[in-house]
Structure 1
Amino acid sequence: MLLRLALPRVLGAAKRPSTLRQTRPLATRVPPDAVRNLGIIAHIDAGKTTTTERMLHYAGLTRSIGDVDDGDTVMDYLPMERERGITIQSAATTFGWRSHQLHLIDTPGHIDFTVEVERALRVLDGAVVILDAVAGVQAQTLKVWRQAEKNALPRVVFVNKMDREGADWRACVDELSRLTTPLVLMLPGPSLEQWYDVVTMELIVFDPQDKTGATLRRSKVEPPTAELSEARVQLVEALAALDAQIVDVFLSAGDHLKVPAGELRAAIRRATLTARACPVLLGAAFRNIGVQPLLDAVVDYLPAPGVPPAPLDPRKLVAFAFKVTVDPQRGPMVFVRVYAGTLDARMALVNQRTQLRERATKLLQMYGDAVEEIAQIAQGHIGVIVGLKATRTGDTLCEPKVKAQLHGIDVPPPVFVCAVEADAPQDERPLAQALSSLVLEDPSIVVEHNEETGQMLLRGMGELHLEVVQDRLRRMKVNASFGKVRVAYREMAGRKASVSHTYAREIAGRMHKAAMAITVEPAQDNTVEVELGDAFEGAEQPSEVHRAIVEGIEGAMSRGTLLGFPVARTRVTVTNVEHFNELSTLPAFRACAAQTLHHTLASADSVLLEPLALTTVECPGACVGPVLGDLSMRRARIVSIDHGEEAHVVAEVPLGSMLGYSSELRSLTAGAATFSMEVVGFGPVPALQQKRIIQESRGY
């Protein structure tokens, strides 16, 4: 039976004809074991959104199939996404399949938006990993695979684009075998419309007369082809190495081909849920082939939400806020996963981070940018709360008198920066409000004010990330100018140095005074040591003084002496502290520590550390020479080169030298190459390069 869920009467800001059907609601009537919370993850351009659009259509959610190139997809609803043809924000939707309710999140594939993937996977129970049948396991595939592993998510793999020339599903499976035990559940048949089901030993035929791919027929393959028989043997043998129960079934059946399909499905599910193996299905989503078997695999092999985690009372509400968006009419919309209890509309909630009480004025079910108002969100389900003003990504929400704290979301530090400035004084307030909304939505955006230059700095995960932020500000009708995108460096003590300093200042009619000596030296990590010494027995408690000094040092280390970047890889030792009776207050020690460290770093010949990006370039074999030549000019260290018709070059490159690389690579390869980057650490900047960077930044 096909479930059809109620759909919104209200659409979002995008002006387009609705492709969504109006059907009956049943969201809150589905038991937890019939729920699947899953994400679609992959390298950019593997076909995530294309596959998702087919899922929605076959589930009866949409009247027609959206197309990325036409800009009419349900999940990529932002104007920027439609113009660029890529997913920028993760989008959620809900639909039914085989009496189950699926909450699905389509995630971006570009490395700049990795936080969108991270916070989606934090609340999901399983994932569908999509591979390009030609490109195989790519750089961002490995990134999202590791993210899924970190969150202990069972996975199903869909090898997409099997209609393309050069498609090689066996090579994809070989590459997958380095990551997991692949369980091949489908094989190509005699034509693109015909596929073999290894579990049921059936031929699946997608009716070529039905251009939407919605009509398919199954028939028993008797006798099985040699290839199908071999695949069934390999599947049973792979499961037997992982699951003792299937060994007993096989011994009873006496033949690999006679093992019942139901027993195989149960064994595949057990192996998938423990992340010891991963089912692999094949298809061509753009040609509307293979998506229904993929949906069946989601229901059959990915987990249900299950019972609440052990410390939580299943009767008391505990929900996790994993995403916030700001709607012009509704205000902040908080996406939550309910881990225990039931969230009701108009319910009072307590934010465990702030201990503030707020009220959920409305609850919504999302369908891309469309919404449906619902009465409650049950345990194991995902939905949206309207009415919360102080909730941020990573917050835990509970009903009053409940104490529970779920672990948050790791946000990597931004590595690109640009200046932003209001065009006129009257534009300053709209700019500040717009930036506040963007930071609320995207925790990987950092806005800070440079006191020395008076500039407002906007930090992001990459060039594209900052470009999208700038685009969004323009669409919000904010009049602002943007500086050149540059890299966020770090600063490090270049040598060992020691400085003694006395702080004395009158504040509000009272003198504050303290003195200390600080030594800095290069190290592998930041460390701070404070030696108060036996001589310290002043008016303040030593523990309070120690805390004040550490706070002063940590504050000072957020801005180095070269260009104001954070200090890294530096050991700081406070070797002497002097107090002056009642003059030595905690603010005096705090300020003295900050000033002394600043003077010490200034005398330690500080050096810049530049972020290093592990860069993977995929290009035609004929283009390897120009690509390597260009990378060498960018001070790259080549890690590996995989020659072939489609070559893979992996290099560690200073991130600063990769500004504008996308356009240059397109020019070098006539648009035939792609690349991905991941910041893996920091390294010293060569002296001449450091001099040039300082001159460019200071203007002298």
Structure 2
Amino acid sequence: MFKTIGVLAHVDAGKTTFSEQLLYHTNSIQARGRVDHQDTFLDNHAIERARGITIFAEQGRMQIGNDTYTLIDTPGHVDFSPEMERAIRVMDYAIIIVSAVEGVQGHTETVWQLLRQYHVPTFFFINKIDREGADVKVVMAQLQKECSDDVLLIEEPLRSDYVSSHVAEWLAERDELLLESFLTESLDAPTCLSSLQAMIKEEQAFPCFMGSALKDIGIKEFIAQIPLLTATHYDNELPFEGEVFKIRHDGHQRLTFIKALQGTLHVRDDFSFGEFTEKVTEIRIYNGSRFETVKEVCAGEIFAVKGLSQAQIGDILGSSISPQPFELIPTLQAKVQYDGGQHIKDVLKIFRLLEAEEPTLRVVWHEKFQEIYVHIMGVIQLEVLCEVLANRFSLAIAFGEPKILYMETIRTTVTGYGHFEPLKHYAEVHLLMEPNTRGTGNTFVNACHADDLSVGHQRLIEKHLFEREHHGLLTGYPVTDIRFTLLTGRAHIKHTDGGDFREATFRALRQGLEQAENVLLEPYYRFKLKAPNDFIGRMMTDIQQAAGTFDTPILTEEHVILTGRAPVATFMSYSTSFAAYTNGKGSLSLQFDGYDVCHNADEILAQIGYDKNADTEYTSSSIFCAKGKGYSVPWQEAQEAMHCLR
């Protein structure tokens, strides 16, 4: 049986040391490394070892009984959380490491919410119980309050023939059939384990263990219990499907990492990517940086292949299902600063390669100014990018100061009209554009009749709406939260080419924006502040000055807890001043909470100074043809000129 288990935590909770112990005690590695000694097995990149943090999600392979486990060690720093999210999507189970001293921290909550979003059954391991200040009871109370009432502390190890009365009672409280057996003293260990395993799978139970990874306390006991509490069911007889979750490069060769969801994959199997068909030329099973080549892999396995250059992270190979969008997105953008000897277009190619490995970089190329921009999660990511570029590509790159990534939407409902008819070309598109619920993103509805436009052309229009981001009129930043409805359109039997509908669609969208009331959006944080009661006044004042809002304060005898929302722009550097005035006694957690109306829109519009008419790549005019010659019709007059209205 193949099982994939991920290890996740807030930075410095002991996640990598815990993973090292699991691999050692299952004989996957012969010696245990230490983060402070820069010799851990899964942190095998020089940058990770030098910084003492996990940056890249890497996998180890271990055998427990008859089961083969892929263990994925994930980044714990918020700047690299998209890498963690991609790994979460291929996990069968997850283990969250929580420090017995620091307890539930900001990133722990983000991890928990992501695991619930993707419905990954979850265990907890309270680490560092040997440290001064460790308090398992306090941490358990935090877990049950912040995460779930169904967190179950397992102090006595479970065995196939033994389950403690505490666990049996906990299960009986949640199942009437088990309760009856419990009261009659006939509830046996196999029944308890079977019920607990099912509840874990259904996210109704979250077992919690404790120990010390560094001192090797509780690790062997944890390993012994994992087979009793986990089960996977994959079907090798179905056609192959696999999710791409990571892309790396081994020299000049591209490695595509895949989780097999069903079926069996063989060397020389092929996949179609639009016009391209590519064959798998090699299959590798990785354990850290080591690998072995195999001829085939089965459902449930994690592996890498060579030969696929078109597959992108998130793709489901062998399936027509559209990739599920990722939850974590960058809120900052930085300009690439380079004055070396290579041509800027060659530098761009390198950034495109890095973008394949880290899609959230969202590399933006400004042809007019010959400039490169990247999207980032934070400044630590920029530092690591500089090191990667220097080490892998011998490029000395710097970055400008990160700036907030804004977005735009509409407040009113409009119909956008686009027509593209230069000589021997023809396409017309009518789009109803309505405000979507905040955070929904752009969506599409098709209300066009096949008598007006063929199904193929209708699908082309939908494709063009989502094939790239579309600039808003206020700042040139992307538009979001718009519900597009294709009303009608027109093609020409002889003169319509595929690209014609791209032009008509883009012009219809832009013409609709010209009519609408446009709104500037900015990213927001959901924050949680905890500090001694003396600081409540300062905290509330700071939040208000940062254009934030907060819920009713939660007061205890010693502490106050404030939760609420605030713009990223005003709050992203607040941790420094908060730590200073609370003398390090406060805790602050920040989680991305989507986009909302910009608190200082006029000021930002003035700063950006975007001129919609100077953006030649995005035009709202339409092109018509008369007497064998194309001519432009400005957006204000486009509706009356449309052919479908006649």
Q: Which TM-score band applies after superposition, normalised by the shorter structure?
A: 0.7 to 0.9
> 2:107 aligns to what?
140
Output one character per residue of 1:440-462: Cα deviation in whole Å (capped at 9) or x when no partner: 11222211223565532212344
> 1:371 aligns to what?
291
Output one character per residue of 1:187-237: Cα deviation in whole Å (capped at 9) or x when no partner: xxxxxxxxx5477999xxxxxxxxxxxxxxxxxxxxxxxxxxxx9443222
Unaligned runs of 5+ in 1: 1-31, 187-195, 203-230, 398-402
Q: Label 1:521 to 1:185 Cα distance change in 2 as closer, same or farther (>3 A).
A: closer
Letter in 1 for 2:64: W
Q: Does 1:458 align with 2:374?
A: yes
Note if contact 1:199-1:232 (Cα within 8 Å) is conserved in structure 2: no
Q: Does 1:410 align with 2:319?
A: no
Q: How many residues matched?
A: 603
* Aligned-pair CA distance for 1:296: 1.6
* Aligned-pair CA distance for 1:528: 7.6
> 2:608 aligns to what?
697
Q: Does 1:655 align with 2:578?
A: no
Q: Does 1:184 align with 2:156?
A: no
> 1:307 aligns to what?
234
Output one character per residue of 1:146-189: Cα deviation in whole Å (capped at 9) or x when no partner: 33334433322212222344433334334444525233320xxx
* Aligned-pair CA distance for 1:113: 3.0
Letter in 1 for 2:326: V
* Aligned-pair CA distance for 1:89: 1.6
Note if contact 1:113-1:461 (Cα within 8 Å) is conserved in structure 2: yes
* Aligned-pair CA distance for 1:323: 1.5
Matches of 2:592 and 2:192, distance apart in 1: 42
Output one character per residue of 1:44-73: Cα deviation in whole Å (capped at 9) or x when no partner: 333211211222232334444322233322
* Aligned-pair CA distance for 1:37: 1.9
> 1:273 aligns to what?
201
> 2:259 aligns to what?
337
Matches of 1:253 and 1:578, distance apart in 2: 75
Matches of 2:274 and 2:415, distance apart in 1: 41
Matches of 2:246 and 2:181, distance apart in 1: 45
Unaligned runs of 5+ in 2: 612-646
Q: Does 1:328 align with 2:251?
A: yes
| Matched ranges for 1:245-284 at <5 A | 246-247=178-179, 250=182, 253=185, 261=189, 264-284=192-212
* Aligned-pair CA distance for 1:306: 2.0
Q: Label 1:564 to 1:69 Cα distance change in 2 as closer, same or farther (>3 A).
A: same
Q: Label 1:571 to 1:622 Cα distance change in 2 as closer, same or farther (>3 A).
A: same
Q: Does 1:636 align with 2:560?
A: no
Matches of 2:457 and 2:308, distance apart in 1: 39
Matches of 2:378 and 2:554, distance apart in 1: 26
Matches of 1:65 and 1:442, distance apart in 2: 29
* Aligned-pair CA distance for 1:588: 6.9
Output one character per residue of 1:600-640: Cα deviation in whole Å (capped at 9) or x when no partner: 64565633111112123455666666555444332221235
Q: Does 1:78 align with 2:45?
A: yes
> 2:642 aligns to what?
none
Q: Label 1:322 to 1:595 Cα distance change in 2 as closer, same or farther (>3 A).
A: closer
Q: Label 1:504 to 1:335 Cα distance change in 2 as closer, same or farther (>3 A).
A: closer
Matches of 1:42 and 1:600, distance apart in 2: 45
Q: Label 1:406 to 1:449 Cα distance change in 2 as closer, same or farther (>3 A).
A: same
Note if contact 1:36-1:102 (Cα within 8 Å) is conserved in structure 2: yes
Matches of 1:556 and 1:377, distance apart in 2: 35
Q: Does 1:50 align with 2:20?
A: no
Matches of 1:127 and 1:283, distance apart in 2: 17
Q: Does 1:475 align with 2:475?
A: no
Provide the alpha-carbon RMSD of the alignment.
4.3
Output one character per residue of 1:254-307: Cα deviation in whole Å (capped at 9) or x when no partner: 6xxxx655554444334323332222212122332111111122122122x323
Note if contact 1:634-1:657 (Cα within 8 Å) is conserved in structure 2: yes
> 1:679 aligns to what?
592
* Aligned-pair CA distance for 1:489: 0.9
Matches of 2:370 and 2:454, distance apart in 1: 37
Q: Partner of 2:342: helix, strand, or coil?
A: helix
Note if contact 1:411-1:443 (Cα within 8 Å) is conserved in structure 2: no
Q: Does 1:392 align with 2:304?
A: no
Q: Label 1:597 to 1:410 Cα distance change in 2 as closer, same or farther (>3 A).
A: closer
Output one character per residue of 1:470-523: Cα deviation in whole Å (capped at 9) or x when no partner: 44223332244422211211123466789999x7875xxx27789999997766
Q: Does 1:291 align with 2:204?
A: no
Matches of 1:515 and 1:695, distance apart in 2: 35
Q: Does 1:560 align with 2:478?
A: no
Matches of 1:678 and 1:307, distance apart in 2: 34
Letter in 2 for 1:694: L
Q: Label 1:592 to 1:396 Cα distance change in 2 as closer, same or farther (>3 A).
A: closer
Q: Partner of 1:444: helix, strand, or coil?
A: helix
Note if contact 1:626-1:668 (Cα within 8 Å) is conserved in structure 2: no
Q: Does 1:167 align with 2:134?
A: yes
* Aligned-pair CA distance for 1:75: 1.8
The equivalent position to 1:444 in structure 2, one of 360, 363, 372, is 360
Output one character per residue of 1:90-120: Cα deviation in whole Å (capped at 9) or x when no partner: 1100123345432111122334433323322
Letter in 2 for 1:321: V
Provide the TM-score with structure 2 as the length reference. 0.78
Q: Does 1:490 align with 2:407?
A: yes
> 2:629 aligns to what?
none
Output one character per residue of 1:535-579: Cα deviation in whole Å (capped at 9) or x when no partner: xx9xx8587887777778778971012221122345779999999
* Aligned-pair CA distance for 1:80: 3.0
> 1:29 aligns to what?
none
Matches of 1:86 and 1:390, distance apart in 2: 31
Q: Partner of 2:408: helix, strand, or coil?
A: strand
Q: Label 1:598 to 1:388 Cα distance change in 2 as closer, same or farther (>3 A).
A: closer
Q: Does 1:235 align with 2:163?
A: no
Note if contact 2:430-2:486 (Cα within 8 Å) is conserved in structure 1: yes
Q: Label 1:160 to 1:599 Cα distance change in 2 as closer, same or farther (>3 A).
A: same
